[in-house]
Structures are given as structure tokens and as C-alpha cells.
Chains A and B, each alone.
Chain A
Amino acid sequence: MFEGASNLAAGVDKAFDFIFYISAFFIIGITGFMVFILFKFARKRHKQPQQFRGSVKLEVLWTLIPTIIALLMFYYGWQGFKPMREVPKGAMEVNAIGRMWEWEFDYGNGKRSKELVLPVNRNVKLNLISEDVNHSLAIPAFRVKEDVVPGYKNYLWFKPTKLGDYDIYCTEYCGLNHSGMLSKAKILDSAAYNQWLAELKVTKVLPSSEGLALMKKNNCLSCHSMSGAKVVGPPLNGIFGKKSLVVTSSGEKEITIDEAYLKRSILSPNDEVVKGFPAVMQSYKGVVSDEDIQKMVDYLKAQDAE
């Protein structure tokens, strides 16, 4: 396996190599033996097939040997896995939040980042939190992976042992942009990490409002940004009162974004879709009360009035 960059890599790689070499030995050995048989006992050379039906001695032998090998493979796998569940005391804790379709890492005190930045050679425990569906946080270079399941307190831990940038993937299918749910783990030396953390701005929380809380609760912001960034759906900031081209079943038309349109877009979102975006939103009919919809629409309206 390619070079690991955490304390857990050695255990994983040892078990993997053990299984790999034994497998290669048997696959090549048995295939070679079959080729030998096909040659030696080919019908044109061997006209008198023997008629034996088995051998107890051989059966016992090839039951016992595979059992022993299988148990050894199991043992190595278990040994490599054991430390993964034993989080050392004093490990620094970071909350890893998964939502459709991004990662966010919370270092406490309102300090959050989209990339996982960690100091080298320090034990870190990631508490895995899902805000919507199942995800799975995987960092192949560290040989760690654990599902991020809503309602579950899953975790993983490791000690990064090398400086550098490493890919983070979501490995549990989570919908449309699953393959875009990527991030990086940046491993810095201790001083650089402290400086980075000190300079990390406390995430600006948008003016508190019931409407915003509702939008978060219903995962609107997973697909619609409030920063103007194009995610899956159109951004929601600065849109009220603007004109927009939408696609309907009977063609394109221009509409003005008003209260009625916003409400329609929540209840039957795919009837009038802003041009250039996919018609993939689910209807919130029966999911969100009319009262709550009004609060969200009011929030968007108030935002743009500022």
C-alpha cells in the first residue's frame, strides 16, 4: 500500500501485506497447477482417466491449512484494528461535521474551517456529526474511515506523523454531489498550527433570526449559499425583488422574485427552476408548516432590505 502518514498506517499495512502475499502465493500457485494439469492431462496426451473419487487425508489437509491461514489473517487484521478504537487520554478533540455536500471542522470557541488543519505528532479525536444523511469520513493517507451517521456519536482518532496535505473523501453515498464532498487535511508543525488557529476568524454567525435557524434546520443551506456562491441551487442572498429567468414545463419565462415565488419554490420547487440549475429539490409540502415558511421568506426579505 502507498506510504501512510499516521500512527495507524503500520498496523493496517502489515495486515494488508500479510493477506496480499499469501493470496498472491495461492492464486499464482493454484493457477500454475491448473495450467500444469491442462498440459499434462490433456486429452491428446492422456487417454486413460483415473477413476479415484477422493482422499480423506487430502481433504483434512486442505481443510486445516486454510483454516489456520484464515485465522492468522483474522488475527493480523484484528491487531491492526485494535488501537483504532482506543483513543489515548488527552487527545485534542475536533468536531467533524458532514452535510450535503461539504465538510466543516469545529475546533471549539466558534472557530471553524472547511479544511482540517492539525498539528503534527499530536493525538486527535474527530467526533463525527451528520447534519442530514449518512456520510463517511475517509482520509486514506491516515488509514482512517468511519461513517458519519445522524444521531450516532461515531468517532475516529489518529496521530498524523508527517507534514503535508492529504485528501479527505466522503465514502458513504449521500446524493447528487457525493463525489464533490471533498476536503483536505493540512498537517502543520506545532508553531504554524498555533498561529493558524490564532488567526482563524470566529465564524461570522449571520444575524440571529428565527427564519435563519429554520433554514439551517431544514438543510436549505446545504444547497443554497448565503454568500453568492453557486452550490447546487441558486444562492439566496440579494435576490428579493430581482428579476430572474426560470424554466417551466412550458418553456422559459422571466419572473420577479417575490414572496409568492419564494413560497412556490419551497412547496413545488421544480415547477419554476432558475435557469442553469438542476431541478433536483424535493418539495417541502407537509414537511414545513406555512408559518415557518413565512418566517423564512421574511428573513430573506429582511436580509435584502438592509
Chain B
Amino acid sequence: MDNVTTPSQENYLNHKTGLWSWLTTTDHKRIGLMYLYAIVIFFLSAAVLGLMMKVEKMVPGQTIMTAQTYNAMFTLHGIIMIFIVVVPGLSAVFGNFFLPILIGAKDVKFPKLNLLSFYVYIAGAILGLFSQFAGGHSPDTGWTFYVPYSTTASSNVVLALTAAFVLGFSSILTGLNFIVTIHKMRAPGMTWFRMPLFPWSLYATAWIQVLATPVIGITLLMVIAERVLHIGFFDPALGGDPVLYQHLFWIYSHPAVYVMILPAMGIVSEIFPTFSQKPIFGYGAIVVSSLAIALVGYFVWGHHMFTSGISYWSRWFFSFLTFIVAVPSAIKVFNWVSTMYGGSVDMKPPLLYAISFIFLFMIGGFTGLTLGSLAPNIQLHDTDFVVAHFHYIIFGGMGFAFFAAMHYWYPKIYGVMYSDRWAYIGWGVLFTGFNILYFPMFILGIQGMPRRYFDYLPEFKTTQMISSIGAVILFTGLIIMISNLIYHRRRGAIAPQNPWHGVTLEWMIPSPPPHENFDEVPTITEEPYTFHNPVTK
């Protein structure tokens, strides 16, 4: 099947040309790419903010920015990374591009709605940026917008809240579209349990997006109403309850963590079989564990509030469920490792990223258990330990899965190859920088260093310095990795249809895929990940 595709062949990139054809496209692949470019730009901007914060903290005291700027920066960093980059991230980019192809469809069920989701997303993102520059102060509440600070702060909180509200709509619409697509658009013969695992993970994710996002929408509206009309929902000065806000906020924002990580798990579940030339180990267990995570994930929000004064038994209950939700993730790790066992393992860049995903995700997961445990939580809550933990999960997990997907599907998306050598170098610098940046933050947290601190006591000096150096290395790695991909977009060698010898549907069509994916809708006759003729050259 290694028939080489010449780029002159008609495909979705040259089907129509010109900016207008992109802006008005309803092709899921082009929409996926537009999300990709938007998300990469936002990701890099927010990464620069992160880098600047780390430079500020290289030595104690004020260096390159004031406390007010620092506070605004971690707020903006959080808002962009969470609402604009990570929550939509994998679903909007790779979900859009590959979900229809992986289930043998020509597009999503509602292509116009899909384009609308994109524009709603862009509108939300622009509002978010506007809140930074629209006179007055940039919001300085943290991405969590805790009341009563967020209802009394003098900064542009209302605009930032509106932005998050609008972005929520985009997320709901995409989720809805994917659910219907998966129910209605699967190719003949593709029963539920013949569906590959990335679509399964998108399915679990989409339900969370549809059911949980409205909660944050209404909560943010309530804060806006409180600020503008002085209705007492949350502010005790107006007779409201500040802890109620935290409940409502985390009822969405905890499941949102699974919106970020489930598609990441789906992506690595695609990569391990391909580079081992061996079926995924425990397909059923991985599917069930995704659904279990999505379901139980709704009921653990209280672990963000262990110190807020909630009752003894609610702490007990939330801690208990937090440990239960950890089990399906553990099952997946064992399944991924076992998929490689006995295979013919080819250490290409996508696999390298997928393996790093497992390593970083394990560290993030186990430190999550430490935080979910009631007594250690008291010590670690709201310290740098938490910051390190969720960067291991979100950046080490979701981020590295994103990079894995980028390297895995790059030849399919663009029909060209990147340089393996530079991909390895980029990975090496990135992975090293990542651990030097975030691992010391576990130690800082254990020693009591609180998060969201502009300044720190002298005893934290050395560890802070090491962490800041890590940030510079990490950023260098990012630049190397991305440059490699951008550089080879126009200059890379032509990629074959199936460079990694995968057996899912995207490898059965030319690279780049034709405008309507399949000339002939395929009929599925067997389980996914069936390697009749493993290629081990």
C-alpha cells in the first residue's frame, strides 16, 4: 500500500484555493487545520507568558515585572491555556481532522455547525484578548475567578468571564456534533466495538462537554450579574455564599480535566499498536475505562475544595471517589505497556512522544493521588506541588499527546515528512527542560511554597533558580520541535500513503486525503488494529 502520492493529485488542500475558500470551508479537515493554527499561536503566546513568569522568579524580589503584572500574567496564562488551548485542543484539531476519517465518514454530521463552532471559538478568544487591553487593568483573579475577589477586583473581569462563557458554547457545539457523528455516520460494518480508540475517547469527551459546560456558563453569568447588578449569589457582603461558587466552578472544571486528557489517551492508544505492529492490548478494557473516567469524573470536584471549610464527610466522600477514578487510568497504562510487549517496536518520534506521555502521566497521576489523600492534601493544597502536578498531567499528558499526534499524523495531514533527526533533538531538549522546570516545583510545594506567589522567601532560592532554568530549556525545545515541522511543510520529502504501516482507515487513503476522504465508503469487516501482514522492515 506504499503507493506514493504526488502532491499534484487532487486533495483537500488544493481542492479549492484562496483565503476565502478556507474561511468559508465546511470541510472538517480544513476546520481542524484552522483550529490547529489558532491553537498553536495561542499556545506559544501563553508559553511566553509562562516563561516570563519563570524569569521573574529566577531570583527573589522584583526583577522584570511588578506584582500586578505578574498576577495578570498568571491569570492570562491560565485562561489561554485552559479555555483556548487545552480544552478544545485535541478534540478540535485532531478530532475534527481524523474522527470522520477513522469511522469511514466523509465529514461530520453537521459541517456548517462545525464551522460555526470555530467562529464562536475565535470570537471567544478575541474577547479574551480584548479583556487585556480594553482600558483599566487586565484581569488579575486567576483563571479560577474565585469570589468574592473576582466580584470586587477593579480589573476587567466581566470581559474575561464573557470570553470564557462564549468559548464554552464552542465546546458544547463541537461535543454535540461529535456525538451525533459517531452515532450516525459510522461506515457500514463499523459496529461500536469495531471503532478505533481515538473516536471512543472523543465520544466520552463529547458527553462531558455537552453535559458539564453549561454549568460553568451559568456560573460565569452569575458572577457577571453579581458584579453588574449586585445580586448576592456569592459575595457574603451581599448575603451570598463564596463556597457555592467554588462548587459550581469545579462541577465543570474538574470534568474539564478529563476533556483534556481523554482524547490524549485515545491518541496514544492509536500510536502504540502502529509502532509495535501488534493489536492494542485489552481493547474492551480501554473503552470501558474511558467511559468510567467520564462518568466518575463528574463526582470528584470537591477535591479542589478540601481546605475550603466543606464538611468532614464530604471531604471523605470526595477523597474516596478520587481514588476510585484513578483505577481506570492505571488500567490504561498497563494496557499500553502490554501492547508493546511482544511487538516489533520501532522507536519513531511519535512513539517516543507517546512513551514520554506514559512516564509524565504516571508522575502526574501519582502526585494526583497524593493530593487526593486527605492528610497530605492539607500540606500540599494551593502550593507549587499542585502546579507541578497539573502541568505533568496537562502539559506532560495532553501536551505530549498533542506533539505525538502531530508527529504521527503530520505526513497524512500535509503529505510530506519532517526530519526525524530534528524531531529527536527537539524531543530531547523539550523533555529535559520539562522535568527540570516542573520537578523542582514538587519539592518547593512540599516545603510549603504557595502557588500564585510573585515573590518568595530566601529558603526557596536555589530550587526556584533551577526551575527557571528548566523553563528556558523547555522553551528552546518547543522552538526546535515546531521549527522542524514548519520548515518541512514546504521542503519535506513526499510522504507515502502509509509511512508507519498503520491499519486504521486514515492510512487507507492518500496523503493528503482527498476532499471527501473516501472515493468509496469502506465496509468494515473486522476488529480494529488487526495486522494481517505486520511490516517490520
Seen from chain A, the residues whose Cβ lies within 8 Å of a Cβ on chain B are 1-2, 11-12, 14-16, 19-20, 23, 26-27, 30-31, 33-34, 37-38, 41-43, 46-55, 58-59, 62-63, 66-67, 70-71, 73-74, 76-81, 84-85, 132-134, 136, 138, 140-141, 143-147, 149-152, 154, 167, 169-180, 182, 278, 280-283
Evaluate contact between B338 and A58: CB separation under 8 angstroms: yes
Evaluate contact between A280 and B316: CB separation under 8 angstroms: no
If the complex has contacts A175-B149, A282-B152, are A63 and B359 also in contact, measured as CB distance less than 8 A? Answer: no
Which residues from chain A contact B276 at a C-beta distance below 8 Å? 41, 49
B5 shortest CB reach to chain A, Å: 25
B472 shortest CB reach to chain A, Å: 22
Which 5 pairs from chain A and chain B are nearest by CB?
A80-B375, A77-B373, A140-B448, A151-B236, A282-B154
Taking a contact as CB atoms closer than 8 A, the residue among B146, B376, B456 that contacts A172 in the complex is B146
CA distance A122 to B98 in the complex (A): 64
Evaluate contact between B448 and A149: CB separation under 8 angstroms: no
Evaluate contact between B375 and A12: CB separation under 8 angstroms: yes
Evaluate contact between A41 and B312: CB separation under 8 angstroms: no
CA distance A237 to B451 in the complex (A): 35
Evaluate contact between A38 and B345: CB separation under 8 angstroms: yes
Assess whether B68 is interfacial by the CB under 8 Å rule: yes
Which residues from chain B contact A63 at a C-beta distance below 8 Å? 285, 327, 331
Evaluate contact between B242 and A149: CB separation under 8 angstroms: yes
- Additional pairs, 10, CB under 8 Å, beyond known A71-B323, A73-B373, A278-B66: A2-B447, A23-B366, A47-B344, A49-B276, A70-B327, A133-B146, A136-B381, A144-B378, A147-B307, A175-B149
Evaluate contact between B334 and A62: CB separation under 8 angstroms: yes
CA distance A46 to B534 in the complex (A): 12
Which residues from chain B contact A41 at a C-beta distance below 8 Å? 276, 340-345
Q: Which residue of A lies closest to B380 (CB)?
A: A16
Evaluate contact between A178 and B454: CB separation under 8 angstroms: yes
CA distance A169 to B326 in the complex (A): 31
24 contacts across the A-B interface (CB closer than 8 A): A1-B446, A19-B366, A19-B376, A34-B358, A49-B276, A49-B278, A51-B534, A53-B279, A54-B338, A55-B281, A62-B331, A70-B326, A74-B373, A77-B377, A78-B375, A81-B374, A133-B146, A134-B146, A143-B379, A145-B307, A145-B381, A151-B241, A174-B149, A175-B140
Which residues from chain B contact A133 at a C-beta distance below 8 Å? 146, 148-149, 152
B506-518 CB contact bits vs A (8 Å, 1 = yes)? 0000000000000
Evaluate contact between B344 and A15: CB separation under 8 angstroms: no
Which residues from chain B contact A144 at a C-beta distance below 8 Å? 378
Evaluate contact between A53 and B373: CB separation under 8 angstroms: no
Evaluate contact between A46 and B362: CB separation under 8 angstroms: no
Evaluate contact between A27 and B363: CB separation under 8 angstroms: yes
Q: Which residue of A lies closest to B358 (CB)?
A: A34
CA distance A41 to B344 in the complex (A): 6
Evaluate contact between B330 and A27: CB separation under 8 angstroms: no
Q: Which residue of A lies closest to B378 (CB)?
A: A145
Assess whether B188 is interfacial by the CB under 8 Å rule: no
Evaluate contact between A54 and B283: CB separation under 8 angstroms: yes
Assess whether B237 is interfacial by the CB under 8 Å rule: yes
Say which size band chain B's interface belongs to: 35 or more
CA distance A62 to B282 in the complex (A): 12
Which residues from chain B contact A179 at a C-beta distance below 8 Å? 67, 450, 452-456
B136-162 CB contact bits vs A (8 Å, 1 = yes)? 010011100010110011100000000
Evaluate contact between B373 and A76: CB separation under 8 angstroms: yes
Q: Which residue of A lies closest to B242 (CB)?
A: A149
Assess whether B464 is interfacial by the CB under 8 Å rule: no
CA distance A287 to B162 in the complex (A): 23
Evaluate contact between B375 and A16: CB separation under 8 angstroms: yes
B229 shortest CB reach to chain A, Å: 12
Which residues from chain A contact B153 at a C-beta distance below 8 Å? 175, 282
B56-86 CB contact bits vs A (8 Å, 1 = yes)? 0000000000111001000000000000000
CA distance A16 to B383 in the complex (A): 15
Evaluate contact between B347 and A33: CB separation under 8 angstroms: no
Evaluate contact between B281 and A74: CB separation under 8 angstroms: no
Assess whether B324 is interfacial by the CB under 8 Å rule: yes
B316 shortest CB reach to chain A, Å: 6
Q: Which residue of A lies closest to B150 (CB)?
A: A133
Assess whether B130 is interfacial by the CB under 8 Å rule: no
CA distance A83 to B374 in the complex (A): 11
CA distance A132 to B237 in the complex (A): 9
CA distance A260 to B110 in the complex (A): 62
Q: Which residue of A lies closest to B347 (CB)?
A: A38
Which residues from chain B contact A80 at a C-beta distance below 8 Å? 374-376
Evaluate contact between B284 and A54: CB separation under 8 angstroms: yes
Evaluate contact between B282 and A16: CB separation under 8 angstroms: no
If the complex has contacts A19-B376, A49-B277, are A43 and B285 also in contact, measured as CB distance less than 8 A? Answer: no
CA distance A177 to B140 in the complex (A): 12
CA distance A2 to B457 in the complex (A): 17
B210 shortest CB reach to chain A, Å: 29
Evaluate contact between A167 and B341: CB separation under 8 angstroms: no
